[in-house]
A and B are shown apart, each in its own frame.
Chain A
Amino acid sequence: MNEMNEVRKPPVATTGIIGWLRINLFFNWTNSLITLFVIYCLYQFIPWILDWTIFSADFKYNYLGEQITNQEMCSRNLDPENGGACWAVIYVRFYQFIYGFYPKAEVWRVNVAYVMLALALLPLLYAKLPYRKYFLYFTYIFPVIAYFLLNGGLGFTEVSTNKWGGLLVTLVLGCTGIALAFPIGIMLALGRRSKLPVISMMCTLFIEFIRGVPLITLLFFGMVMLPLFLPEGIDMDGLIRVLVAVTLFQSAYMAEVIRGGLQAIPPGQYEAAKSLGMSYWRMNLLIILPQAIRISIPPIVNTSIGLFKDTTLVIIVGILDLLGIGRGTLADTNWLGLSYEIYFFVSLVFFIFTFGMSRYSLYLEKKLKTGINMGAD
């Protein structure tokens, strides 16, 4: 054994925590300055935000130990120097934020629908779920079950959509819009690239028209004009009209996203499929779309997140979604002036959902290996 062969450890300054710090945070003097500045900002900000949101905040009782029933009882209004957030408003209004004005006796139906939604999403989230096939069947029939459960019929008493609100409306609009827009968008994207001029022109017209107007205009269109096109006597529900508008809007965007994916597929793929004697539909369903959708995942999730947030616009047509309930709460003379708490809570809920969506897309990208060299491995 030769002394030269002894394993020498790398210098301390390039490994471990110290090495990581040196390379990432203190590589040169500008980096070091920026790092110190950011640390200083966090040091100033984090204790303050933690104190405001948690340590000095009222959750149900104020600092005198009384249960809070209006804004005047909040610690921060009783003692402006020391009080933090007054979360009691969320506590008192929690029911409205989650269910809107849904009758209390029937609210178990919404709860069941929420649980079923989670179950329906499960097989989509975990490919390795045992009995995934049966779960998927459930996912397909879930919308029908949810419709009867929430709206009534089949033995359930009817609950007018006018009573729906809060997170319920946000989720119904977001999920339905995203789920329906996906197949419609695929058809529109294929149609726009079709060689049949009538189909191609109609799809292009539809997409360009819908994309060319703001969502608010479409919502108004759905609310005011749609009933005029229906035969007399058919009374279309307000929420359904809004759903139609939201779905049309989202399909147009989805179509363009998927068309982008379709255009990225090399012509060789089409030619290879055709040379195997595949029909148009088999070629698209088995060869082209799986690849096109795979590379379109980031923009698909992007527009879906966009839609989820855009659902707050329905307040314009008088439907109280999560944000609408928040604003309604702010207009109650008991809770005037608690805008920080309410907007903080609403944005937190939205963040949880949109962040979940974006993490899911990352997971999918990793699983499907949608990098540039997707064919390589």
Chain B
Amino acid sequence: MKKLLSIFAVVAFAFSAHAGTLDDVKNRGFLKCGVTTGLAGFAAPDDSGEWAGLDADMCRAVAVAVFGDRSKVEFITTTGKSRFPTLASGEVDMLARNTTWTISRDVNLGFEFVGVNFYDGQGFMVPSALGVSSATELDGATVCIQTGTTTELNLADFFRLNGISYEALPIETNDEGKENLFAGRCDVYTTDASGLSSTRAAASNPDKWVVLPEIISKEPLGPLVRHGDHQWGDVVRWSLNAMIIAEELGITSENVDAQTSSNVPEVLRLLGVEGNYGEMLELSNDWAYQIIKQIGNYSESYEANVGPDTPLEIARGLNALWTQGGILYAPPFR
């Protein structure tokens, strides 16, 4: 199936000769952004039908960079299977769809990952009554595992490395895993840590479940665009970087106006007071100012959508700035 999809993608790509996505977007008057059909904290419609979440904010940030208006974006829902053909055929300008950056997707499918907006990884969730504090103590446990995924392979590797055994209970969907775990048919549920957090938040009593500290795989999730259109790739890449740099410099949506009279040179460059970085990207010079003003910096978006104060309660962890123990790092703005 994967092979078939990549053939589809390549064929579709060959037929869609898009010269400049940025110009297309500007002419069209709005951005077309591919998101999930619904993943808690990343992209889901809220009660009024507006898309909200970390990935939705990514889309809006790009729309703000291009148009200075957070509403100039049309969200196109894509599934795990349809996301790549949809991007390749030019039906969306970019994907912000919790997609793991891998070499084959970056190289073979003809896409360009422009950054990472969430560092995820496979984790384990157990009932707190089990009294386990580390995944290495899970010898002989029954594990709920989605079949045909990389998580299945990672799980086998992890248990073999640690010389312990497990019994797999194959499941198809996240919902099924949740129900099986809550009903006690398996002792452990394993999937991406962000998925575990939303599963835990959905429990009637979240305190009865713990997510174990071990993260056994790398799942860097980030926005991607079609390969070959570097100008457009730069716009998306620096929209993300601008949010990260803003956090680094302590600029928030609230203090951004005051910061325009700051005496820190990088702040002035970022906010378009000095230099002509907007022009280089073929955007207006206050593009980054608008992103911070209308969307906020990375931390604001994170805290509002997935952070410890939301039902998902995902700690910053790897997603903290490099200065604060995480690995979030954006190249300098100069």
By a beta-carbon cutoff of 8 Å, the part of chain A in contact with chain B is 69, 72, 76-77, 80, 92-93, 95-96, 100-101, 160, 162, 220, 223-225, 227-228, 238, 315-320, 324-325, 327-334, 336-337, 339
When distances are taken between beta carbons in the complex, the residues of chain B under 8 Å from A93 are: 47
Instruction: Please give, as numbers and ranges, the residues of chain B lying within 8 Å of A220 by CB-CB distance.
Output: 8, 81-82, 85
What are 7 A-to-B residue pairs whose CB atoms are below 8 Å? A162-B76, A223-B82, A224-B12, A317-B79, A317-B82, A327-B38, A333-B305
Are the CB atoms of B37 and A328 closer together than 8 Å?
A: yes
User: Which residues of the other chain, B, contact A77 by a CB distance below 8 angstroms?
Assistant: 204
User: A319, B11: Cβ atoms under 8 Å?
Assistant: no
User: How large, as a class, is the contact surface on chain B?
Assistant: 35 or more
Question: Is B198 an interface residue when CB atoms closer than 8 A count as contact?
Answer: yes
Contact A333 B37 (CB under 8 A): no
Q: Which residues of chain A are within 8 angstroms of B74 by Cβ–Cβ distance?
A: 160, 162
Which of B45, B49, B82 is close to A318, meaning CB atoms less than 8 Å apart?
B82
- Determine whether the beta carbon of B202 is less than 8 Å from that of A337: yes
Judged by a CB distance under 8 angstroms, whether B141 is at the interface is no
Number of A-B contacts (CB under 8 A): 106
Residue of B nearest to A332 (CB): B44
Complex CA gap A360/B135 in Å reads 57
Residues of B within 8 A of A160 (CB): 74
Is B207 at the interface (CB under 8 A from chain A)? no
Closest 5 CB pairs of A and B: A331-B38, A337-B202, A328-B38, A331-B44, A336-B202
Give the CA-CA distance A93 to B45 in the complex, in Å. 10
Q: Nearest Cβ in chain A — how far from B1, in angstroms? A: 10
A336 touches which one: B34, B77, B79, B311 (CB < 8 A)? B311
Assembled-state Cα–Cα distance A100/B36 (Å): 16
Q: Which positions 34-85 of chain B face chain A at CB distance < 8 Å?
A: 34, 36-41, 43-47, 49, 52, 74-79, 81-82, 85
Residues of A within 8 Å of B100, CB to CB, are none
Q: Report yes or no: A337 in contact with B203, Cβ–Cβ below 8 A.
A: yes
CA distance A317 to B78 in the complex (A): 6
Chain B residues, Cβ within 8 Å of A329: 38, 44-45
| Residue from B34, B37, B86, B201 within 8 A of A327 (CB atoms) | B37
Q: Choose among B12, B44, B85 the residue that contacts A328 (Cβ–Cβ < 8 A).
A: B44
B27 at the interface (CB under 8 A from A): no
Is there contact, CB below 8 Å, between B77 and A319?
A: yes
Interface of A, helix, strand, loop or mixed by DSSP = helix
Q: Could you say which of A69, A317, A319, A332 has the most chain B C-beta atoms within 10 Å of its C-beta?
A: A332
Q: Does B241 contact A (CB under 8 A)?
A: no
The CA-CA distance from A96 to B50 in the complex, in Å, is 11
A336-B201 CB under 8 A given contacts A220-B82, A223-B82 = yes
> Given the known A-B contacts A238-B91, A337-B203, are A331 and B40 also in contact in the complex, defined by CB atoms under 8 Å?
yes
| CB contact between A224 and one of B85, B175, B305 (< 8 Å): that residue | B85
- For the complex formed, measure the closest distance between the CB of B208 and the CB atoms of chain A, giving whole angstroms: 11
CA distance A320 to B38 in the complex (A): 10
A residues within 8 A CB of B175? 330, 339
Chain B residues in 8 Å Cβ range of A92? 47
Within 8 A of A (CB), among B82-136: 82, 85-86, 89, 91
List, in ascending order, chain A residues with CB within 8 A of B41's CB: 333
B322 at the interface (CB under 8 A from A): no
Asked if B15 lies at the interface with its beta carbon under 8 angstroms from chain A, I say yes
Minimal beta-carbon separation of B11 from chain A (angstroms): 7
- Whether B79 pairs with A316 at a CB distance below 8 angstroms is yes
Taken together as a complex, chains A and B put the C-alpha atoms of A101 and B76 apart, in Å, by 12
B40 close to A318 (CB less than 8 A)? no
Q: A224-B12, A238-B91 given as contacts; is B204 within 8 A of A318 (CB)?
A: no
Q: Which residues of B contact A318 (CB under 8 A)?
A: 34, 37, 76-79, 82, 86
Contact check, B45 vs A332: say whether CB atoms are below 8 A apart: yes
Please determine whether A336 and B205 come into contact, CB atoms closer than 8 angstroms: no
| B5-36, CB < 8 A from A | 8, 11-12, 15, 34, 36
* Contact (A80, B49) CB under 8 Å given A318-B77, A319-B77, A333-B41: no
Q: A332 with B11: in contact, given A96-B45, A316-B79 (CB under 8 Å)?
A: no
Known: A162-B76, A332-B38. 16 other contacts (CB 8 A): A93-B47, A100-B49, A223-B82, A224-B8, A227-B89, A228-B11, A317-B79, A318-B34, A318-B76, A327-B38, A332-B44, A332-B46, A336-B198, A337-B201, A337-B203, A337-B204
B77→A320 contact, CB < 8 A: yes
On whether A333 and B45 interact (CB within 8 A), knowing A162-B74, A318-B77, the answer reads no
For B195-216 the 0/1 string (1 means CB < 8 A from A) is: 0001001111100000000000
